[in-house]
Amino acid sequence: MKFSIKKYIFGATSAIITNMALIAGLHNSANAKLSIIGSLFVIALADNLSDSMGIHIYQEAETSSTRDVWFATGTNFLARLAVSLGFITIVFLLPLDIAVYVSALYGLVVLAIFSYVIGKIRNVHPIYSAVEHVVIAIIVIFVSNYLGNFISGGFSSF
């Protein structure tokens, strides 16, 4: 089987956006650090398995090669797991106020690199591809942060 970075990037980019959104949305909640780490583990396992199963079923519908199906499933799972473990490590090791910024930087840099690579593969301007995806991710971070603050403020009386 030929190595293809595209098979890893797909799952990793999904995990980057999901993890960054979760951290941005929960960092002001009660017991934030514990809540974030627990939620990141759920993403690393449950959401990852769910997404990998979706890839598995999609690949079964698209190809007859059992080997290709399992390879796509495995690469998606491993890429998402690796990204999620990176975010978990950052939040676990650093004070939360610093971890929020470091995790955003980590996610945006990895996303920019992956987007650049995809731009090169697609023969489009790789910088534009990276900027486009990073801007979308920044919007997701800000919306998640706003939503988290809104919910935290609205439910503080409960």
Domain boundaries defined on the chain: 5-151
**Does residue 106 or residue 12 have the better pLDDT?**
106
Q: Find where tokens 């017991």 sit.
A: 31
| Residue 5 pLDDT | 67
| Residue 157 pLDDT | 55
Q: What is the DSSP letter of 29?
A: S
Give the residue from 38, 15, 31 showing the smallest Cα distance to 103.
Answer: 15
Average pLDDT of the chain is 87
Q: What's the predicted TM-score (pTM) here?
A: 0.86
Task: Give, for 82, the enclosing helix (H) or strand (E).
Answer: helix 66-93
Of 19-23, 26-30, 60-64, 89-93, give the lowest mean pLDDT range.
Answer: 60-64
Query: CA-to-CA distance for 55 and 92, rounded, in angstroms?
Result: 30
Structure confidence at residue 71 as a pLDDT band (50, 70, 90): confident
Contact 33, 102 (CB under 8 A): no
Structure confidence at residue 155 as a pLDDT band (50, 70, 90): low
Query: CA-to-CA distance for 46 and 146, rounded, in angstroms?
Result: 25
Task: Give, for 9, the enclosing helix (H) or strand (E).
Answer: helix 5-26
| Model pLDDT for residues 72-110, shown as the tens digit of each residue | 888 889 988 999 999 999 999 999 999 999 999 999 999
Amino acid at 1: M
Task: Reply yes or no on whether the pLDDT at 11 is more than 80.
Answer: no
